[in-house]
């Protein structure tokens, strides 16, 4: 039996609903319809009254989740697309993220953001907003790259006392699979060595981890051993694991699907340059999407974001430095 | 026999009504005295940041606090000092937050009107207007999940907030979920300096209720009796399961937006209109006219409350100042997930 990333998300929510009476799901079309991507398929039937369709009111959806959390509930919010979380940004960054600091009352809400590009998605159904949310104190930002992590990290997100932005990548929904759901999992905040190597470290997260692994496989044929670090969560960001990897390889390439200005790749490089400058044998490099809105047409879209080919090319370039 | 019972009920009701009114007046007076004190502390440089007062809005605000019970939820706005006190906020908490005491509920991390005790139903407002409505909705949804019935939530907003998207989303959400929300709009005629005609184009804000499928109520916000009746009625309807209620009160802000603002833009005709009456003065005169209190009694009450306030302020002024070296600079409840940024952020002064 194989379980997809999407099914893992559904199963994690089913388990959370089953095991914790404080959990409920709130979002657009999540009820009988089962969600735009079917991440809540059949959950409304299995858990009557606990999987609620919302109006198209992202601000009020998150506001209500915060209110429910204050009263002791554990809401899971599904944004239909990460792109549509921007109308809720006040509630997320000013209300949810400040509540504990201001009042010492925790805000255990999980906001699921179907993130990242898909072919034909265009400017408003493709965004990767993890860096926007990671910028604000008071939020945890998870970016699972595997079906196992999608499952275990979502369960952990619901259990955590703080607001969690759960960035699930739409490209991984059906393409990424596992044979079985994990029983034990690495805790959130720990990065994973997705592939061991000695010549160069690629640090990535979410779908780009899979592309980085494919690039590493391609370079293996050229006699190069690439180490791939999957950050898993970008906030907290496991600097120790990154630094240990760079200590082994001396070369760092950061790959992210988000835009280049600021963001996760810049953050990782800043940390390594600040704390581990002497570990580097070459200038650290990064690869991001182009600094434009995300294009609609597949031929433009594949040129807009990092691919296996462009990651491999960037790695080869760094190895020559 | 029946007649005697009825008259006993009538006596009891009259007594309850009188008590509510007296209680309301007491909190209005305390809130006004607190406002006056905070204003003078601000003007002598004893308060950091802004001071925002509720002068002219005490009758409406106190009616909210009086109408609510333990277990209800209240999201006050900046001019709800009276309502907060009537809902049970300790005066000490209010003064400590204004003066930035680390012993206050916000521990000097937030100040002035940004205070509350969310677990006790007193939500701590953020500055973004309309944003608290959906949060109240969420608390009411949670109570429904927990099978707790008979509770209501009040969100307090001004005329300015009715122009926000959050207001629209919040009231619509409450209507869709049929929540026991009472949304109280204090139309004090100005959103900071912007008059009603630059804020909305409908004839009456209460007209908006119909479009949302919500019951409208209108009240003269300068009249304590009317406010107690109207807000009390709206709260009772919500409590009975009649769904969300929208209360719109007409009144005038008898101060600036904050104490930094001289409110020179307020139309003098409004000040001399019935709308510009001082609700505290009106309430006090009503007390005398009804014979529920004489001038000496209200004068004595004023002195007692002023004394209480002076003692509270004196006590808070002896509180320690917040200590940045002892501050726990952590925004997350989960200590194990908090990153250490010491080497990247401002160094401690040597």
Residue-level pLDDT at A2:
94
**pLDDT confidence of residue B6:** 64
ipTM above 0.90 for this complex: yes
**Would you tell me which residues 70-129 of chain B have a C-beta closer than 8 angstroms to some C-beta of chain A?**
73, 105-107, 109-110, 114, 116-119, 123-124, 126-128
Tokens of B11: 């006596």
Distance from CA of B74 to the nearest CA of A (A): 12
Q: Quick one: pLDDT band at residue B9, thresholds 50, 70, 90?
A: confident
Q: Which of residues 173-192 of A touch B (CB under 8 A)?
A: 188-189
Cα separation, B225 vs B283, in Å, equals 8
- CA–CA gap between residue A264 and residue A271 (Å, rounded): 11
Q: How many CB atoms lie within 10 A of CB B231?
A: 30
In tens digits, what is the pLDDT along chain A, a chain of 321 residues? 799 999 999 999 999 999 999 999 999 999 999 999 999 999 999 999 999 999 999 999 999 999 999 999 999 999 999 999 999 999 999 999 999 999 999 999 999 999 999 999 999 999 999 999 999 999 999 999 999 999 999 999 999 999 999 999 999 999 999 999 998 889 999 999 999 999 999 999 999 999 999 999 999 999 999 999 999 999 999 999 999 999 999 999 999 999 999 999 999 999 999 999 999 999 999 999 999 999 999 999 999 999 999 999 999 999 999
What is the model's pLDDT at position A1?
73
Q: Which two tokens stand for residue B201?
A: 């184009």
Q: How confident is the model at residue B14 (pLDDT cuts 50, 70, 90)?
A: confident
Class (C level, CATH) for B2-337: alpha beta
Would you call A175 a catalytic residue per the annotation? no
- Residues of B in Cβ contact (< 8 Å) with A161: 332-334
The answer to whether B148 contacts chain A (CB < 8 Å) is: no
- Give CB contacts under 8 A, 24+ apart, made by B37-44: B37/B309, B37/B310, B37/B313, B38/B98, B38/B259, B39/B255, B39/B259, B41/B98, B41/B99, B41/B313, B42/B259, B43/B259
Looking at residue A228, the DSSP 8-state letter turns out to be E
Lowest mean pLDDT among A270-274, B55-59, B268-272, B346-350: B346-350
Which among A91, A103, A106 is the nearest to B124, CB-wise? A103
Ranges assigned E (strand) in chain A: 3-4, 23-27, 51-53, 74-78, 110-115, 140-142, 164-169, 177-178, 192-195, 200-204, 226-230, 233-235, 252-255, 285-287
| Angstrom distance (rounded) from CA A98 to CA A31 | 30
What pLDDT, on a 0 to 100 scale, did the predictor assign at position A52?
Answer: 98
Q: Do A103 and B105 touch (CB under 8 A)?
A: yes
- Cα–Cα distance for residue pair A176/A168, rounded to 1 Å: 12
Residues 6+ apart with CB under 8 A from B143: A71, B149, B151
Where exactly are the structural domains of chain B?
2-337
Q: What average pLDDT does range B334-343 have in this prediction?
A: 88
Judged against a pLDDT cut of 80, whether residue B347 lies above it is answered with no
CA dihedral A141, A49, A21, B171 (to 10 degrees): 60
pLDDT value at residue B290: 95
pLDDT category, B346, cuts 50, 70, 90? confident
User: Do the domains A192-320 and A3-178 match in fold?
Assistant: yes
Name the token pair of A17: 């609903």
**3-class DSSP state of B217:** strand
What is the rounded CA–CA span in Å between residue B180 and residue B170? 13
The yes-or-no verdict on residue B332 having pLDDT over 50 is yes
- The C-alpha torsion from B131 through B132 and B135 to B136, rounded to 10°, is -150
A3-178 CATH, one of 3.20.20.70, 3.40.720.10, 3.40.50.970, 3.30.460.10: 3.40.50.970
pLDDT at B348: 55
| 3-class state of residue B205 by DSSP | helix
Residues 260-289 in B contacting A (C-alpha not used; CB under 8 Å)? none
Strands A192-195 and A233-235: unpaired
In A, which residues are within 8 Å of B169 by CB distance? 55, 57-60, 63
Q: Nearest C-alpha of chain A: how many angstroms from B73?
A: 10
b/e map A23-32, b = 16+ CB within 10 Å: bbbbbbbbbe
How confident is residue B1, by pLDDT bands cut at 50, 70 and 90?
very low
Q: How far is CA B263 from CA B60, B192, B254, B295, in A?
A: 21, 8, 9, 32
Domain residue extents for chain A: 3-178, 192-320
Over 70: is that where the pLDDT of B349 sits? Answer: no
Whether the per-residue pLDDT at B40 is higher than 50: the answer is: yes
The three-state secondary structure class of A1 is coil
pLDDT value at B283 more than 80: yes
**Percent of chain B, pLDDT > 70?**
97
Q: Would you call B145 an interface residue with chain A, using a CB distance cutoff of 8 Å?
A: yes
Query: What is the percentage of chain B residues whose pLDDT exceeds 90?
Result: 91
Q: Is the N-terminal amide bond of B179 cis, ω within 30° of 0?
A: no
Query: Which CATH number is associated with domain A192-320?
Result: 3.40.50.920
Using an 8 Å CB-CB cutoff, list chain B residues near A106. Answer: 333
Mutate to test the interface with B, among A68, A157, A238 (most CBs of B within 10 A): A68
CA distance B285 to chain A (A): 40
Query: Residue B350: what pLDDT?
Result: 41
């Amino acid at each position: 039996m194989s379980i997809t990333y999407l099914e893992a998300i559904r199963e994690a929510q089913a388990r959370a609903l089953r095991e914790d009476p404080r959990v409920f799901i709130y979002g657009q079309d999540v009820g009988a319809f089962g969600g735009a991507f079917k991440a809540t398929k059949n959950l409304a039937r299995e858990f009557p009254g606990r999987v609620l369709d919302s109006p198209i009111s992202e601000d009020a959806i998150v506001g209500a989740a915060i209110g429910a959390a204050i009263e002791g509930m554990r809401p899971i919010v599904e944004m239909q697309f990460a792109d549509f979380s921007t109308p809720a940004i006040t509630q997320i960054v000013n209300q949810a993220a400040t509540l504990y600091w201001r009042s010492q009352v925790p805000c255990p809400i999980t906001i699921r953001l179907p993130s990242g590009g898909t072919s034909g998605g265009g400017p408003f159904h493709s965004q990767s907003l993890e860096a926007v949310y990671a910028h604000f104190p008071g939020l945890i930002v998870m970016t699972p790259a595997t079906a196992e992590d999608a499952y275990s990290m979502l369960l952990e997100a619901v259990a955590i006392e703080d607001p969690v932005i759960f960035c699930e990548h739409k490209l991984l929904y059906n393409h990424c699979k596992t044979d079985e759901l994990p029983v034990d999992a690495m805790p959130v905040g720990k990065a994973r060595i997705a592939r061991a190597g000695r010549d160069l470290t690629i640090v990535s997260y979410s779908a780009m981890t899979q592309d980085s692994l494919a690039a590493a496989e391609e370079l293996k044929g050229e006699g190069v051993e690439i180490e791939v670090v999957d950050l898993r969560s970008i906030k907290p960001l496991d600097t120790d694991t990154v630094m240990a990897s760079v200590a082994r390889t001396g070369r760092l390439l950061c790959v992210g699907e988000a835009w280049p200005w600021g963001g996760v790749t810049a953050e990782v490089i800043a940390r390594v340059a600040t704390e581990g400058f002497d570990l580097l044998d070459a200038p650290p490099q990064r690869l991001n999407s182009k600094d434009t809105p995300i294009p609609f047409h597949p031929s433009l879209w594949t040129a807009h974001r990092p691919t296996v080919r462009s990651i491999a090319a960037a790695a080869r370039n760094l190895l020559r430095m | 026999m029946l007649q005697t019972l009825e008259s006993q009920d009538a006596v009891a009701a009259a007594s309850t009504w009188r008590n509510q009114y007296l209680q309301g007046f007491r909190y209005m007076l305390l809130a006004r005295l607190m406002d006056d004190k905070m204003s003078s502390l601000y003007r002598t440089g004893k308060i950091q940041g802004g001071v925002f007062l509720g002068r002219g809005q005490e009758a409406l605000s106190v009616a909210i606090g009086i109408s609510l019970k333990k277990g209800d939820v209240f999201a006050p706005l900046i001019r709800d000092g009276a309502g907060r006190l009537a809902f049970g906020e300790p005066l000490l908490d209010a003064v400590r937050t204004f003066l930035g005491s680390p012993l206050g509920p916000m521990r000097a991390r937030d100040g002035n009107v940004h205070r509350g005790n969310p677990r006790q139903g007193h939500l701590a407002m953020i500055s973004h207007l309309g944003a608290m409505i959906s949060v109240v909705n969420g608390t009411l949804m949670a109570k429904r999940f927990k099978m707790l019935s008979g509770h209501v939530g009040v969100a307090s907003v001004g005329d300015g907030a009715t122009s926000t998207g959050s207001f629209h989303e919040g009231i619509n959400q409450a209507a869709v979920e049929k929540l026991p929300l009472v949304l109280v709009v204090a139309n004090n005629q100005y959103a900071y300096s912007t008059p009603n005609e630059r804020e909305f184009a409908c004839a009456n804000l209460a007209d908006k209720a119909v479009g949302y499928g919500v019951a409208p109520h209108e009240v003269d916000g300068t009249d304590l009796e009317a406010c107690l009746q109207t807000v009390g009625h709206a709260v009772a309807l919500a409590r009975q399961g009649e769904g969300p209620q929208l209360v719109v009160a007409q009144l005038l802000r008898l101060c600036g937006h904050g104490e930094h603002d001289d409110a020179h833009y307020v139309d003098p005709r409004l000040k001399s209109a019935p709308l510009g009456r001082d609700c505290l003065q009106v309430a006090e005169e009503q007390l005398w006219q009804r014979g529920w209190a004489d001038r000496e009694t209200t004068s004595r009450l004023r002195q007692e409350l002023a004394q209480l306030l002076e003692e509270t302020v004196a006590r808070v002024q002896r509180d320690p100042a917040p200590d940045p070296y002892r501050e726990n600079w952590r925004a997350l409840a989960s200590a194990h997930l908090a990153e250490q940024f010491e080497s990247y952020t401002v160094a401690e002064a040597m």
